[in-house]
Amino acid sequence: MEKIQSHQHKALFRFLIIVVIIMAFKLLSININKPFWGHHDWNSVVYSNIARNYIRYGYLKTKLVQVTNYDRQPQDKFTYVTHYPPLLPIIISFSFRIFGEGEVQARITIVLFSLLLVYFIYLIGKEIHSKLMGIFAAASTIFLPTFLYFGKLPVHDTVIVPLSMVCFWAYIKFIKTNKQIYYFILLATFAIGGLIIWSMFYLLVALIFHQFIYSNHRKVKYKIYVLFPVFVLVFTLNLIHIKFLGINPLAAFSNFLDRANPYLTSDKYGFALAKYIIQELRWLKIYYTLPLLLGSIIFLVIAFHSFIKNKLNLATSLIFTFFIYGIIYPVAFQQVAFIHDYIIYYLLPFMVLGTSYSVFFAFSKVKQKLIFPLILVAILGYIFLSQFKYTQALLATNANKRGYDVAKVINANTASGQSSFITSNSYKEFQEVFIGYYSDRQVGYGESLPLDFNKKFNLIIRPKDHDPLDIQSKKLLDNNYPKYENSSFIWYRIN
């Protein structure tokens, strides 16, 4: 009878995690085919364009470097991104190669990583506490605004957090079983992450921290330290790759000083420490909801109390380590976190597992009673509904739609190899990458016509929402070239 009940118990939790993952996929699929014109979709067009260039030129011709050109260009005119490793756009390019280029194809690769995140949060919750806590933590994840929006955003950070959770899970299993297979999973996943973004290094810092606060097992410590030369090797290979192409390897550090010292650019972004802290707390409340913010604060109180009493168990020490992992990036690179709200994505494992632990701690006396599942469902409902309107607004953002719209005009009225000119520097400042990606043409910008515009450009576009072109130039265009317009733009075919 006990064996039957145990089998039924396992089957129930397998069913529940499958339901949670299916729900996660359904929720992430909302607006998955939306054009790249929303909040932080700058990343979406930049890395999708690089992925498209891998398909256009081939992996050998690009030599796996991230080519940023639009339209088809000769190799000697390639421009590159060098401050990140190339694996993310390469992965996106695989999707483009199999399914064709498009928003869905770019986002679906990130969605798969996000589903991996949900599953490994469940597995970690199961390892450090119980299957039920794992289910609750996973279910909490899929209702968060930060997960529902950024969980399909083609950017490195939303990929590296799931891979880090695979590493954490392998680390936990290695500690508990001492089986080498888990250590090799940790090493392999860590190396793959290092080929995506340098922030995979934060995992090593977090694991060393955990060894200091929880375990004195020298063999485990030694094997964790092995991750450091692995990271150095991956980092060095990337620098060698850049140097091999004739690019200065220091280009990999092109924006390091600005990001490490926000006061160098404080006049540009309005950075101030107090303002930064307040902003991060507001983002935590908005993107993670008030229940998770309060739950994670309660966990920190529990963890500090346990630390002072020298009673840190595996669960509290690991969840506290997730906190350290999550704050490394925002603390080390405050300028980036001040500008980019998705940097708090690194805190997602801590927020959901810390809150879950707090809930199970607070209701420990009723865990065996029927009312406890009802309490968990009620909390999940509150998490989902508390920021529901904000999530809807976030998913519907179209801040860069005008860049998309003018790009479609350019693409429809020019052929590959032809150039266009937009009479607005504002469009260059705020919309250039969107225009470049969707038009896939060479585009010039300015607020006066170049002297030889009729030789250089095949199309001139005047945006109606920002039209600083002088009257004489407008008359020149109106009198000499075919004129077309819609509700947003006026354009002229030059030749």
Task: Give the chain's end-to-end CA distance (angstroms, integer).
Answer: 84
Burial of 421 per CB tally in 10 Å (0-12, 13-18, 19+)? buried
Q: Is the pTM of this model over 0.85?
A: yes
The 3-state DSSP class for residue 37 equals coil
The 3-state DSSP class for residue 442 equals strand
* Matching residue, tokens 């004489």: 472
Per-residue pLDDT tens digits of the chain, which is 495 residues long? 555 556 677 888 899 999 999 999 999 999 999 999 999 999 999 999 999 999 999 999 988 889 999 999 988 888 888 888 999 999 999 999 999 999 999 999 999 999 999 999 999 999 999 999 999 999 999 999 999 999 999 999 999 999 999 999 999 999 888 899 999 999 999 999 999 998 899 999 999 999 888 866 666 777 888 888 998 898 888 888 887 777 776 666 666 666 666 666 666 677 888 898 999 999 999 999 999 999 999 999 999 988 888 888 889 999 999 999 999 999 988 888 888 899 999 999 999 999 999 999 988 877 777 788 899 999 999 999 999 999 999 999 999 999 999 999 999 999 999 999 999 999 999 999 999 999 999 999 999 998 889 999 999 999 999 899 999 999 999 999 999 999 999 999 998
Per DSSP, which regions of 402-446 are E strands? 419-422, 442-445
Q: Give residue limits of the domains in the chain.
A: 2-395, 401-493
Amino acid present at 78? F
- Residue 449 C-beta-side C-alpha neighbours within 13 Å: 23
